[in-house]
Chain A
Amino acid sequence: MIFEVFRQETEKDYHTHVGNVHAPDAEMARLFAQVAHARRKPAKSLWVVPKAEIAEVDADDPGVAMGGTTQKEYRWATNYSTGQMAEEIEASEAEQAEAESTRRRAGEDRRRGGDD
């Protein structure tokens, strides 16, 4: 049986998918997941989930409409040029700009097709 493993690094992080393990049952899967995904890297907790229990919605399926393709520039601070702002607004805008460049990098990685 295949179990997907999600690792949470510190208390404040989300659980992130890190890979999977093959195991005969849930208990062994938890053990394998610990060895494979939390022995070297720091971890706060692991979720170990039978692959069959994960529901998937695929963008290629007929009748599925996912976001991200619509022009949504109106919703970002970076799109309004208002000159010098109060420092807390500048900080918020910097976070949005950073998130945007992360999104863009992730998009480029996907298009290159690999994590090399």
Chain B
Amino acid sequence: MDLSTVKERAGPRQFGPTDEMPREYREAATRMIQFHANSEIMGAYIERPFIRQAPSLDRKLAVSAQVQDEIGHGQLLYRAAENLGVKTREEMLDELAAGEGKFLNCFHYPLDSWYELPMIMFFVDGAAMRRQASLKRTSWEPYAHAIDKICFEEGFHIKHGEDILRELATGTRRDQEQLQEAFETWWPRILQFFGPTDDQSTHNDFSQEVGLKTMSNDQLRNAFLNAYLPKAEKYGLKIPEYPRVEYHENRDHYEVYEEDLDWDEFFTVARNELPTGRGQIEKRRRSQDAVEWVRSAIESTPSGGETPAAAD
């Protein structure tokens, strides 16, 4: 299939492993799915310490279930990326361990206290869910298939995150202050979740033309802010004045002041050069090394060798 045919036929779940796809499509899809898979894995590593630190047994169980889910999502996604034929799962895991794999900006920052957890589990995961829901209509069918299962589970994570948020927001004054502080720290990062605005984004046009993405960064950010800012206010969180966000009722549109956000830092993060992010990558590499013996045991089993079907 040549690129113009791809653009013509692009639509929800239009292409799969039996289609002969052009190199550009396979590379763009691999970049996108690999990024998503890496983010699931690195997100799990951010949340993992809170299995121990959770203040109650119920919370421990739920955080632990959440971490398991994220790792599972990562595996599903590597599989969906693998059958594009650009990179093997091994290569993608090695890239992540070597600090070459890209992942979501928010997972490069340290998470020091329980008060910060809802910033990830509610706001960041909520933003991710908004994006994932739009990907049920992506043109690469194995990706959409993986997204089905991811969306099925993700609702629990966000509601659990909101439950923690509510608990802290209705707690002591000290709880509320610390929560507000965490919100202020995370606010600019949350705004940067969807990347630069449409006029600055490099990969957006191509991904939309071939149906990999179905909504632009701006559209997604608007939908997210529309649904989540009222929630923040409901729990008494004050939206920081800076970086500025303004709501234009006539266009139902949030204007984010791009110049208020630190894009130098954003791109430092994107290049995996933030010290805390490097620490996270290193931690992940050590974990991967530690279980190398499991992988080699599986690979030396005679029944191996057959590639399982796409995301199931």
Binding site for B on A (CB under 8 A): 12, 14, 72, 74-77, 80, 82, 85-93, 95-96, 99
- Least CB distance, A5 to chain B, in whole angstroms: 19
B162 in contact with A82 (CB, 8 Å): yes
B293 interface residue (CB < 8 Å to A): no
| Known contacts A91-B151, A96-B152, A96-B156: A82-B129 contact under CB 8 Å | no
For A85, A89, A90, A99, which residue has the most chain B Cβ atoms within 10 angstroms? A89
For B158, B163, B166, B224, which residue has the most chain A Cβ atoms within 10 angstroms? B158
User: Top 10 closest A-B pairs, CB basis?
Assistant: A92-B155, A88-B133, A86-B227, A80-B159, A77-B155, A77-B156, A75-B65, A82-B162, A74-B62, A80-B163
Q: Is the interface of B mostly helix, strand, loop or mixed?
A: helix
Closest residue of A by beta carbon distance from B61: A74
Q: Mark B116-139, 1 if CB is under 8 A from A, else 0.
A: 000000000010011011000000
B189 interface residue (CB < 8 Å to A): no
> Given contacts A85-B159, A89-B129, A89-B159, could you give 12 more A-B pairs where the C-beta distance is less than 8 Å?
A74-B62, A77-B155, A82-B162, A86-B126, A86-B129, A86-B227, A89-B158, A90-B155, A91-B155, A92-B154, A95-B151, A95-B152
B126 in contact with A76 (CB, 8 Å): no
A77 in contact with B62 (CB, 8 Å): no
Closest residue of A by beta carbon distance from B132: A88
A99 — which chain B residues lie within 8 A by C-beta? Answer: 152
B61 in contact with A92 (CB, 8 Å): no
A-B contact pairs, 30 of them (CB 8 A): A12-B145, A14-B312, A74-B160, A75-B61, A80-B159, A80-B162, A82-B166, A86-B126, A86-B224, A86-B227, A86-B228, A88-B129, A88-B130, A88-B132, A88-B133, A89-B129, A89-B155, A89-B159, A91-B151, A91-B155, A92-B129, A92-B151, A92-B152, A92-B153, A92-B156, A95-B152, A95-B155, A96-B152, A96-B156, A99-B152
Binding site for A on B (CB under 8 A): 58, 61-62, 65, 126, 129-130, 132-133, 145, 151-156, 158-160, 162-163, 166, 224, 227-228, 312
- Least CB distance, B135 to chain A, in whole angstroms: 11
- Least CB distance, A91 to chain B, in whole angstroms: 7
B129 in contact with A75 (CB, 8 Å): no
- Least CB distance, B226 to chain A, in whole angstroms: 8
